[in-house]
Amino acid sequence: MKLTIGQTIRSLRRERGITQEDLAEMLGVACQSVSRWELGSCYPDIELLPVIADIFQISTDKLLGADYATEQKKTDEYLTRFQTAISQGQIDRCIDIAREGIAEFPNNYTLLNKLMYALFVSGDDSGNIPNWKENREKYDAEIVSLGERIMKYCPDPDIRLEAVGRLAFQHCEMGRKNMGRVLYETLPSQELCRENQIWWALEQEEKLPFLQKKIRQDYESLRSAVWQLAGSRLLPDNESIKVFQKIAALEHLICDGPKTPDTWGPMHISYELALLHARTGNAQEACRYLKTAAQNARVFDDRPETLTISSLLLGTVTENKIDFDTADTRSYCRVMAEDWLTAQEFDILRDTEEFQKIVEMLNEAD
């Protein structure tokens, strides 16, 4: 088997912005030696291999040109197992899978990023993770260490930026908002992102799928910002109700009609509107929206493995059941019955026959 160590060194060196002269100085060899390695004229001395691997933060197997196709295949298998586990709320299992993959491929940044994500999610207070508080403290240092490692060494810009955002969020969650703010400030502005710049370089056949994908991304970004406005209590409740209604209207516009209940949005919008109406004392509207939320929760729990949605602006979008990330092992009917309906705002409904029927509907579904 022909070794590809020279090609690997050249690729890694360029990714990290290291010149041949820099690498030669780090290794204590002549610059001509590095040049000959990269041209394939000769190989580095065996004693230098661990040093070179350490400089580039990779294993010696990777440096020697080990079978990347095999590693990618195994990585994909780990990712499939990981996604299956997180779609079922099995966060501890996700952590174990990521650690198993990293034990086999210590410098695989895709798996390192997944481990960081799983450790972060294990501290989610909205799921049914009994030790989420302990997890936040226990995994804080490891999350920070993984984030900083990915930021410093990962050659993939998308993984690196994702890690920056999550690390900033972790700092904020742990009371280190100043540190989080500093990291957030390093992220590129929306105006200068690839999606806003690359249009002029696209071929004609690339433009339609590109625009539809960009509209999907921009729509999700807009929807998220409007949702934050509605749910953050920055506005009076009666105005927040109007904002949530605008989210539903926006979905109707963008999706060529209301979103199917098989998706996450209709269930949550109905619930949030029920909560707001209950808070403002409108028991009748609160009960109406709560019933709709419960019905949508049942549909969501029974959604098909694959759902395809089409619209003029979004094109055709396929949503897979397994792609849904959650920190909760329970069905959404159970989450609604055990958590959402316990909100004190619903005390005005709790003793009514309509409310009891909603509870029964959720319990029967589960």
- How many other C-beta atoms are found inside a 10 Å radius of the C-beta of residue 271? 23
Q: Could you give the count of Cα atoms lying within 13 Å of 171 in the half-sphere of its Cβ?
A: 18
Mean pLDDT of the region 13-18: 86
Show the DSSP H helices in 109-156 as ranges.
Answer: 109-121, 132-153
Q: Which CATH number is 68-188 given?
A: 1.25.40.10
The average confidence (pLDDT) of the chain is 92
**Cβ–Cβ < 8 Å for 113, 153:** no
**Cβ–Cβ < 8 Å for 13, 5:** no
Q: What is the pLDDT of residues 19-40, one digit of tens each?
A: 999 999 999 999 999 999 988 8
Mean pLDDT of the region 168-190: 96
What is the total residue count of the chain?
366
Is residue 226 pLDDT above 60, yes or no?
Answer: yes
Question: Locate tokens 């079978």: which residue?
Answer: 67
Longest dimension (CA), the chain: 85
pLDDT value for 66: 62
pLDDT value for 264: 83
Mean pLDDT of the region 225-234: 93
Question: Locate tokens 């909100």: which residue?
Answer: 343
Is residue 12 pLDDT above 90, yes or no?
Answer: no
pLDDT value for 68: 65
Between 67 and 105, residue with greater pLDDT: 105
Is the domain spanning 5-63 CATH 1.10.260.40? The answer is yes
Query: How confident is residue 105, by pLDDT bands cut at 50, 70 and 90?
Result: confident
Taking the C-alpha atoms of residue 105 and residue 221, their distance in angstroms, rounded to an integer, is 34
pLDDT value for 235: 96
Q: What is the pLDDT of residues 337-351, one digit of tens each?
A: 999 999 999 999 999
Domain boundaries along the sequence of the chain:
5-63, 68-188, 201-365
Mean pLDDT of the region 177-203: 93
Is residue 5 pLDDT above 90, yes or no?
Answer: no
How does DSSP assign 49-93, residue by residue? Answer: HHHHHHHTT--HHHHTT--HHHHHHHHHHHHHHHHHHHHTT-HHH
Positive or negative, the Cα torsion across 254, 255, 256, 257?
A: negative
Mean pLDDT of the region 125-140: 94
Q: What is the pLDDT of residues 35-82, one digit of tens each?
A: 999 888 888 988 899 999 888 888 787 787 666 668 888 999 999 999
pLDDT value for 348: 93
Is residue 355 pLDDT above 70, yes or no?
Answer: yes
Is residue 2 pLDDT above 60, yes or no?
Answer: no
Taking the C-alpha atoms of residue 122 and residue 48, their distance in angstroms, rounded to an integer, is 41
Q: What is the percent of the chain where pLDDT is above 70?
A: 98
Mean pLDDT of the region 100-122: 94
Distance of CA 305 to the CA centre of its chain: 20
pLDDT value for 72: 84
Give, for 269, the enclosing helix (H) or strand (E).
Answer: helix 264-279
Query: How confident is residue 146, by pLDDT bands cut at 50, 70 and 90?
Result: very high
Query: How confident is residue 213, by pLDDT bands cut at 50, 70 and 90?
Result: very high
Q: Which of 102, 113, 94, 115 is nearest to 74 (CA)?
A: 102
Query: How confident is residue 88, by pLDDT bands cut at 50, 70 and 90?
Result: very high
Mean pLDDT of the region 261-266: 82
Query: How confident is residue 3, by pLDDT bands cut at 50, 70 and 90?
Result: low
Distance of CA 331 to the CA centre of its chain: 21
Is residue 1 pLDDT above 50, yes or no?
Answer: no
Q: What is the pLDDT of residues 264-318, one digit of tens each?
A: 888 999 999 999 999 999 999 999 999 999 999 999 999 999 999 899 999 998 9
pLDDT value for 366: 65
Between 153 and 189, residue with greater pLDDT: 189
Tokens of 211: 């625009």
